Amino acid sequence: MNTQKVIVIHGPNLNLLGRREPEKYGRMTLAEIDQALVALGAELGLEVEAMQSNDEGAIVTRIQATRDDGTAGLVLNVAAYTHTSIAIRDALVFCERPAVEVHLSNVHKREPFRHVSLIADVCLGQILGFGPQSYLLGLRALAAHLSAG
């Protein structure tokens, strides 16, 4: 089996995981989540690259690059940009790669402005509300999609 490369993109403020509103986002750090994703990826035959940025433009540029750099698919938690970024949505359409949207918290139990996702309909699906497990479930969903295709 050839290993496929997937990218996990974490958006703004997720570098603070473990310290940021732990009652909403839990106590696991981003490094611990990334470690778990790399380990699960190895089980699933996926090479996982993870990146975090607080910068919308850096996220747009990284998503654009996935069209030509051998990336098979994406798992995305673009955090607050989920609710605001037409630019990230446009980059996802351009890259023509399957993407899974994930969130740690159940955004539908929170403020109304978090109920809107500008990327939901250009992703395969959404997984949210399961804390760090949302990422692992998202990676499993992407793996299943890639192996079916």
Which residues form the catalytic set?
25, 103
What is the chain's Cα-based Rg? 14
Q: Which is nearer to ligand DQA, 71 or 105 (CB)?
A: 105
CB 103 to ligand DQA: min, Å? 4
Q: Which is nearer to ligand DQA, 14 or 72 (CB)?
A: 14
CB 131 to ligand DQA: min, Å? 9
Instruction: Compute the distance between CA of residue 93 and CA of residue 119 in angstroms, rounded to an integer.
Output: 9
Q: How many helices (H) and strands (E) does the chain have?
A: 5, 5
For ligand DQA, the binding residues (CB under 6 A) are: 13, 77, 79-80, 82, 103-105, 107, 114
Q: Which is nearer to ligand DQA, 35 or 106 (CB)?
A: 106
Query: Across the strands, what pairs with 39?
Result: none
Torsion of CA 90, 17, 24, 35, to 10 degrees: 80
Token pair 């990336």 in the structure block, residue: 71
**Local structure of residue 121 (DSSP, 8 states):** G
CB 43 to ligand DQA: min, Å? 24
